[in-house]
Chains A and B, each alone.
Chain A
Amino acid sequence: MMILTVKTLISAVRAPYPYGEELVWQLLFVLKLSWFPLMISTFALNLGAPGLQAAGVLSLFGALDRLGGFFVVIAIRWIGPLVTAVVVAGVAGTAITADLGARKIREELDALQVLGVDPVKNLVVPRFLALMIVTALLDIFAIVFGLSAGIAAELLYNQPLGGFFATLFSNATITDLWASVLMCTMFGAIVAVVCSYKGMSASGGAAGVGRAVNQAVVISLVAVFFFQFVVSSILLATNPELQAVR
């Protein structure tokens, strides 16, 4: 997997760039598959977990306007990238593994190599770049829907929205947003490499493709969660301005 990562990075920047068309195609493919599951998932998760649970506790204190500050922590720093990664791994990652695995089983990849076409450059690199771009885009989308779920939770408790927006904007920092988007880009890279690797090393007929998809999605989920824990530990510990009271 590491070898594949290095190979992908090298052939992404080295001179001939034959993957432009495939890149656009993959971008559209991932966007078209992911936007609807992502919308429902972020809205449901943000309405349930931080929205209603936190609003329940805050309403006991009569401090529902503080929900905005809480949503900075949850929706932007944590759930936005997390749900984007889960949905992209589950939707686009599985599709990539199924696609490449089927090609491997039908020996199309070997045929490509015989024809002198590098499968890494022509198949893996466009998927890698497309997932990196799309996860960053979808992260913004996820944050927007997460915040709209927060607004819905406020409205369920019959609160004016001014307090929510005031605490939201006073607590949100540029660092938060950048960290969220960059984290998501890395998630896209992880998912793409894991799923491409598992797809390209599938073997054993119909059962093999299914097993490859299974392993790919498990490995990418665990890797993404672990990576997020490490990144947010470093981010929160090294940026004291994220811990200030506002």
Chain B
Amino acid sequence: MIGWLAVPRGWLDSFGEIGRFGVRVAGLVYSGRVFKFFGEGLRQAGILIFGSALIIWAFVFILGLQCGLQGAYFNRSIGAPSLAGLFSAYCDLREGLPYAFGYILAAKVGTGIVAELGAMRISDEIDALEVMGIQPLTFLCATRLLGAWIAIPFLYLVGIGIIYAASFLSVVNQVGDVSSGGYLLIFWMYQSPPDLIFSVIKGMTMATVIVLVGCYYGYTASGGPVGVGTATAKSMVFNIVAVHIIGMLGTVVFWGANPRAPIGG
């Protein structure tokens, strides 16, 4: 039976190790040593796009529908249904998309990496790589990080288009308090290119942390099939909390002091 403080204590134990591991892997990418396996990096990017893109976009679409729905009804309740664009502009770009992206990336990509690397560790394939003279950390973890950095910005940008379309559908077509022109006027008025860049930075930070945490838990898995399952579960817990904390810090840093809204002076 586990104790009430088991989860926070486990994080305190592993937080430093995850940090050190992450810095090492990121260092391997930055120092260019990963380009020895550039083909493998491209293959990982391809796996990410073909395996995860559709599910990521479907998830983002559902959250966009929800954003538009809540925003439309909230604005109706304060007597300003034509301002639904304000709510969905903020909800889509600044908050909703990074969180939706973080959740589904943690669920699909993060746990996928743990399952894959964990199975390799359990069946001693990682040791075999080392024996063959290939650095496993570079070949397995750094290439995955490189692949994520290549593919994910584009997945994210397409996701922005999808979440906008979903909010438009639910505000204009489902609830229908505002015309499409009126919605789009307010919607585009309340966002600017810097907001887009901040949003992408938020999403990319989440993606980097998720891939690194996944690599750590997979690379250090032990204890047979049960161990792989437990490591996958642990990585999911860590990733969810990391996504929320990064989201909050991003909001505080980028929009905390200046809401960047075209109101007043």
Contacts and interface: CB of A to CB of B under 8 A. Distances in A.
Contacts of A206: 118-119, 122-123, 224-225, 227-228
B7 A33 contact: yes
Top 9 A-B pairs, shortest CB-CB distance: A210-B115, A98-B229, A56-B259, A207-B119, A94-B233, A48-B248, A48-B251, A44-B248, A49-B95
Given A33-B7, A101-B229, 16 more contacts: A25-B1, A33-B6, A36-B5, A37-B240, A49-B99, A49-B247, A54-B90, A56-B259, A57-B261, A60-B264, A90-B106, A91-B233, A106-B225, A208-B225, A218-B104, A222-B104
Nearest to A209: B229
Contacts of B231: 210
A interface majority secondary structure? helix
Interface of A: 25, 28-29, 32-33, 35-37, 40-41, 44-45, 47-49, 52-54, 56-57, 59-61, 66, 69-70, 73-74, 77-78, 83, 86-87, 90-91, 94-95, 97-99, 101-102, 105-106, 171, 205-214, 217-218, 221-222, 225-226, 228-229, 232-233, 236, 242-245
Contacts of A60: 259, 261, 263-264
B257 to A, nearest CB: 9
Nearest to B79: A245
A214 B232 contact: yes
B236 to A, nearest CB: 4
Contact of B248 (A47, A70, A209): A47
B225 A205 contact: yes
Interface residues of B, number: 74
Interface of B: 1-8, 55, 58-59, 62-63, 65-66, 69-70, 73-74, 76-79, 86, 90-91, 94-95, 99, 103-104, 106-108, 111-112, 114-116, 118-119, 122-123, 174, 224-233, 236-237, 239-241, 244-245, 247-252, 255-256, 258-259, 261, 263-264
A59 B98 CA distance: 24
A56 B261 contact: yes
Contacts of B86: 57
A52 to B, nearest CB: 5
Contacts of B65: 229
Given A53-B259, A206-B118, A245 B78 contact: yes
Contact of A229 (B66, B76, B95, B115): B66
Given A48-B251, A210-B115, A95 B233 contact: yes
Nearest to B2: A32
B94 A53 contact: yes
